[in-house]
């Protein structure tokens, strides 16, 4: 995402990497002076005019030219602002931390993984085993060049300038989700109250009575089987009393 141009009113509002727009008011052997509308001109060293080598300042900028610059260093006590015309990296090596999540764009694919531009000096690598939870034969089965994805920094080696990334570290594992769902269902089942022996006996007796009634003629509406219910309760209570006596 392109940074917005900042229009500070005083030097205390200026921060490193802020984007400013100014006008070249002077050129010299060592660089160019830029007025960005705050009364304090900023200085762009010749090495900061562009990424390629510059032999002469006037080959890149001219007096009166409008330029976009970024704050490289600011010293409020000295009223000094050092600028650069080279767009700064979104992530410098010191900014990249293990475990942080960043967004990036897939720059190219290899058999062993995908390279992702995250705004650092070099793209990071997502190994094929870190692209998805399940097995994939090629990186192209998970991502394509140009895809914008979110990745997690697994490790960073400043000396070798290597960044290892992961996509699946930010995704839920389907197998884990399934196990958790089964466990939750089991816990819910375990929390259900266990019926007493009497409740079980009554249910069984009522079910048998229902089956017997179905196999015979259907009773008329309004005729209740009071005798059957009394018999059910009587047998159940007798069974409980007998069990208690034993």
Once rounded to an integer, what is the mean pLDDT over residues 30-44?
91
Q: Is the pLDDT score of 221 beyond 50?
A: no
pLDDT of residue 241: 47
The structural architecture, per CATH, of the domain 93-170 is: Beta Barrel (2.40)
The CA-atom distances, in angstroms, between 103 and each of 10, 150, 165, 202, 220 are 33, 4, 11, 63, 74
Range 175-186 average pLDDT: 61
Confidence label for 8 from pLDDT (cuts 50, 70 and 90): confident
pLDDT tens digit string along 92-110? 898 999 999 999 999 999 9
Minimum mean pLDDT range among 83-92, 140-149, 228-237: 228-237
pTM of the model: 0.57
Buried b vs exposed e over 117-141: b needs ≥16 C-beta within 10 Å? ebbbeebbbbbbebbeeeeeeebee
Q: What is the pLDDT of residue 228?
A: 59
Is residue 192 scored above 90 in pLDDT?
no
> What residue ranges do the domains of the chain occupy?
11-84, 93-170
| Predicted pLDDT of residue 223 | 46
For the domain with range 11-84, which CATH number is right: 3.40.1170.60, 1.20.1440.230, 2.40.270.10, 2.40.50.140?
2.40.50.140
User: 60 falls in which pLDDT band (50, 70, 90)?
Assistant: very high
Would 11-84 and 93-170 be classified into the same CATH topology?
yes
**Average pLDDT, integer, range 82-92:** 93
Q: What does the pLDDT read at residue 125?
A: 97
Q: What is the pLDDT of residue 77?
A: 84
Tell me what pLDDT residue 201 has.
73
Higher per-residue confidence, 39 vs 159: 159
Least confident of 4-8, 104-108, 130-134, 162-166: 4-8
Of 84, 136, 88, 79, the closest CA to residue 113 belongs to: 136
Average pLDDT over residues 5-11: 73
| Most confidently modeled range among 10-19, 33-42, 138-147 | 138-147
């Amino acid at each position: 995402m392109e940074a917005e141009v900042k229009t500070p009113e005083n030097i205390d509002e200026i921060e490193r990497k802020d984007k400013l727009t100014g006008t070249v008011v002077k050129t010299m052997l060592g660089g160019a002076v830029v007025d960005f509308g705050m009364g304090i001109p900023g200085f762009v060293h010749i090495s900061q005019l562009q990424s390629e080598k510059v032999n002469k300042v006037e080959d890149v900028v001219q007096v009166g030219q409008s330029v976009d610059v970024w704050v490289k260093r600011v010293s409020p006590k000295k009223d000094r602002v050092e600028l650069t015309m080279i767009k700064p990296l979104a992530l410098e090596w010191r900014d990249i931390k293990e475990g942080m999540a960043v967004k990036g764009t897939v720059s190219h694919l290899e058999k062993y993984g995908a390279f992702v531009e995250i705004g650092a000096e070099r793209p990071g690598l997502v190994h094929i085993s870190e692209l998805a939870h399940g097995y994939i034969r090629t990186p192209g089965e998970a991502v394509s060049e140009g895809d914008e994805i979110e990745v997690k920094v697994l490790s960073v080696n400043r000396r070798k300038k290597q960044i290892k990334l992961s996509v699946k570290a930010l995704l839920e594992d389907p197998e884990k989700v399934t196990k958790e769902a089964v466990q939750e269902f089991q816990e819910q089942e375990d929390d259900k109250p266990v019926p007493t022996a009497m409740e079980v006996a009554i249910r069984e007796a009522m079910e048998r009575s229902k089956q017997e009634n179905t196999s015979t003629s259907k009773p008329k509406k309004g005729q209740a089987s009071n005798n059957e219910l009394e018999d059910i309760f009587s047998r159940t209570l007798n069974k409980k009393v007998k069990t208690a006596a034993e």
